[in-house]
Structure 1
Amino acid sequence: MSFHGFYQTWFDHLRRMVDQLAEARRPPATQEDHHALRQLVHKVMTHYAEYYRVKSLAAKHDVVSVFAEPWCTALERSLHWIGGWRPTTAFHLVYTESSILFESHVIDILRGLRTGDLGDLSPAQFRRVSELQCDTVREENSITDELSDWQDCSSDLLGVCTNVDGKIERLVRILEKADDLRLRTVRKVVDLLTPQQGVEFLVAAAEFHFGVRSWGLNHDRLRRKV
């Protein structure tokens, strides 16, 4: 199966898994509920890990095609960073969802009632999110600098170059670093959340993914009709 075909199958499976997340009981009332949420979160994270494992294999075979992401819409590619979503997007999602839920429950929270959702993040959780965001920004910038340096040296590919394979291998490593940062960021965010909050974060991230892809598909269809 081509990576394009794999992606479509993977994406369809992600939709079904998100439906399971959305149907999970929240807030969890029993230990069994807590265990069920943890299992669902683990299942989704394993699904994401499989995506990056297969993508890495595809990149080793043809990194230029993987970098170009022909399976994505034009809108998705316009928003991407080094062959995928920007890792710091995860923090924007956390802050946005937290703000929306906090505002919807503000009266209960002021009364001292705990909702346990993303609108009920503790000061310690906010601190850890902020620290992780700073670390992720530094790693993003470092990888961006690596790609910029690779691009500065790419003029060799247009002339006589005795190490084309070496340059392509370097591009593979840059893409793998970016993908590794993407996966590590999601894992670390999920780890600092409760199971209930983790489910809510993964649902929000997937729905954002689904929304952008839907808008992109509509845009591409309209563009083809012009």
Structure 2
Amino acid sequence: MPVLPKIMAQPTPADTPPRETFNKFFERWICEQNSYLEQLVTAANNHNHQNDDDAVLLPLIDRVVRHYENYYQAKSDWERRDAISMFTPTWRSKLEDAFLWIGGWRPTLAIHLLYSKSGIQLEAKIGDLMRGLTTGDLGDLAPNQIKRIDDLQKKTIHEERVLTEKLAKQQESMADRSMVELSSAVSEMIRNESSGGEDDEKVESALDSKEDGMEELLHMADDLRLETLQAVIAILTPIQAVHFLIAAAELHLRLHEWGEKRDMNTVSASGALNHATGLHVS
């Protein structure tokens, strides 16, 4: 297949306006993802792998990849405004939060997803493959594709480890000598009930430097997420890429819905318990 070029994020109608919260942007983005999912499913159902319809599939794949790029461009803009909030995203459910890695999905998840979907489609059409028929989907990966995917997985695991170690060092820096000295000085000031305008400035400066380090990590992790997605797409044929993007969207959308439902059930159960016990929070 023609290799998809690496597309730099370009401003699109989905870009987050200056005064729009990222929550609102995410709500619109996920609605758009659902719309793209329907288009991908239609394209897969109408595909005849014996005919050359790459001219139909490639523009759709390109639009979907651009949609992901737009998300990371908007996320990058917000990371510059408030990096810390991106580690505890309020637009995601607690279920999704539990599986986040540096503010988003772990890049190797894309490769695990590919192998999982490949196995499912292989089992579904094993009879056709045994008769020498090609299916054209992810159950029909060629040996050279499997080799490239395996190489990509090893490379991505290594890059994940590098970033994980950087995150650990950044977290450990909260207890470095300068922070301990500063916390002791401020604590002493509080005990002596003295004014600490100068110390306040030192605190803000110290915390800002820590946040800058976390922001840099977020950008690096998002770059790796997008690069991994693009690399997987480049290995696949157009129809295989369509099946992969369908699986990715379905997993993301369903996990988001399931998580939100669990959160709502938890809130409802908590409210019922408070009502039953007479506990009310004003």
What is the CA RMSD across the aligned residues, in angstroms?
A: 1.4
1:27–1:196 contact (8 Å) kept in structure 2: no
Q: CA deviation at 1:17?
A: 0.8
Q: CA deviation at 1:28?
A: 4.3
1:8 to 13, 20, 27: 27
Q: CA deviation at 1:36?
A: 1.3
Aligned to 2:107: 87
Superposed, 1:65-76 pairs within 5 Å as 65-76=85-96
Superposed, 1:55-134 pairs within 5 Å as 55-134=75-154
Aligned to 1:152: 172
Greater helix content:
1
Which blocks of at least 5 consecutive residues in structure 1 are unaligned?
Answer: none
Q: Find the aligned partners of 2:173 and 2:100 in 1 and give their Cα distance.
A: 22
1:117–1:200 contact (8 Å) kept in structure 2: yes
Q: Find the aligned partners of 1:27 and 1:171 in 2 and give their Cα distance.
A: 47
How many residues are treated as equivalent by the alignment?
225
2:228 to 178, 185, 188: 185
Aligned to 1:21: 40
Cα displacement string for residues 37-59 of structure 1 (whole angstroms, at most 9, x for unaligned residues):
11111100000000000100101
User: Identity over the aligned pairs, expressed in percent?
Assistant: 38
Report the residue type matching 1:71 in the other structure.
Answer: W
Q: Find the aligned partners of 2:218 and 2:115 in 1 and give their Cα distance.
A: 27
Matched, 1:139 2:153: no
Q: Find the aligned partners of 1:132 and 1:48 in 2 and give their Cα distance.
A: 20
Larger radius of gyration: 2
Q: Find the aligned partners of 2:262 and 2:250 in 1 and give their Cα distance.
A: 18
TM-score, L = length of structure 2: 0.77
SS in 1 for 2:82: helix
Compared with structure 1, are the counterparts of its residues 143 and 84 closer, same or farther at alpha carbon in structure 2 (3 Å cutoff)? same
Q: CA deviation at 1:77?
A: 0.5
SS in 2 for 1:126: helix
Cα displacement string for residues 14-73 of structure 1 (whole angstroms, at most 9, x for unaligned residues):
100110010012234544x21111111110000000000010010100011112111000
